[in-house]
Amino acid sequence: MSKAISKSQLKVITKAINKHYPSSYADSSWDNTGLLIDCSKNENVTTEVKKPLVLLTVDLTSSVAQEAIERDCNVILAYHPFIFPSWKNLNPSRNSQHDSAIKLIQQGISVYCPHTAVDAAKDGVNDWLSHGLVAHERTMIASSESIESIKDKPINGEDSTEVGYGRLVKLASPLTLKQVIKNVKNSLGIDHLQVASHYEPANHSIKTIALCAGSGSGVFRSLREDVDLYYTGELSHHEILKYKEMGKSVIICNHSNTERGYLREQMCHILKSEGVDCIVSENDKDPLNVV
């Protein structure tokens, strides 16, 4: 039986998503966001699903697509673009994503991808990362301002202190790098991360942090202020070396580890408050393991 919902039902869901993560915030110069698969039906040709169910995931892998089918979901909200880069044809025998797309369409499951809109939004993933820096500490965040887009201009004319693809965090009082590492592990729910620093973590005082979920490379290049620590999911070898040689510390956690917890701890609750019934994928995991 098709899991397709009516156009009006899908509109309610996408309206709730855009309320908190406006599509205008996404970086359209390269990102592929929005409703990437629309399987909704006209009201006069389908029986409305009583309560549409949305599955939240960072990556829409083949196992997540199968999970959506087995858990009777009607919509998938995939943080990362599912169609990226844009496809010119479908060949399921060579590309598992193509195979998943065909299966989802056959099942009537729509797919929405917000990506950089979630990065930029107030109370989005980067603000969540900011709060994780000082979890359970007496130290408070003195200020947190957005780092502008790669284009180095306000997003859609919004207040540049609240909307941007990264965050510049200033602590009210310093923490040691050792304590920041502990807080990051706790907030992300991971056992291991990578650190580059000239200093012993117990001795390096941290007051200012530049952070960016996923890959911080382009965002950090637009930073105009001096910082003690760069915190992100991934950077290139040469970027890490450059920051270390400058006397800065770097924390790297693997790309999607900086994003996944936000879906569970924030996004799911935000959407439920808007009346959207949603669950978080059990099969969505970072592709890299420490062995």
pLDDT in the model for residue 57: 98
**Across 28-42, average pLDDT:** 93
pLDDT in the model for residue 147: 61
**Across 171-195, average pLDDT:** 94
pLDDT in the model for residue 222: 78
35: Cα separation from own chain's centroid: 17
Cis peptide before 287 (omega within 30 of 0): no
Please check the confidence at residue 145 and state whether its pLDDT lies above 80. no
255 assigned ligand-binding residue: yes
Kindly list the distances between the CA atom of residue 59 and the CA atoms of 1, 104, 180, 183, 275, in Å, as whole numbers in the listed order.
25, 15, 27, 25, 24
Please check the confidence at residue 42 and state whether its pLDDT lies above 90. no
43 assigned ligand-binding residue: no
Domains belonging to the chain, first-starting first, are: 7-118 (3.40.1390.30), 121-258 (3.40.1390.30)
Kindly list the distances between the CA atom of residue 21 and the CA atoms of 25, 124, 187, in Å, as whole numbers in the listed order.
7, 8, 22
- For 159, other C-beta atoms within 10 Å of its C-beta total 12
CA atoms of 98 and 291, how far apart (whole Å): 31
Residue 187 CB-half CA count within 13 A: 24
CA atoms of 6 and 133, how far apart (whole Å): 42
Please check the confidence at residue 144 and state whether its pLDDT lies above 80. no
pLDDT in the model for residue 89: 87
What's the pLDDT tens digit per position in 241-257? 999 999 999 999 999 99
80 assigned ligand-binding residue: yes
226 assigned ligand-binding residue: no
pTM here?
Answer: 0.91
What's the pLDDT tens digit per position in 70-88? 999 999 999 999 998 778 8
Of 204, 258, 253, residue with least CA distance to 229 = 204
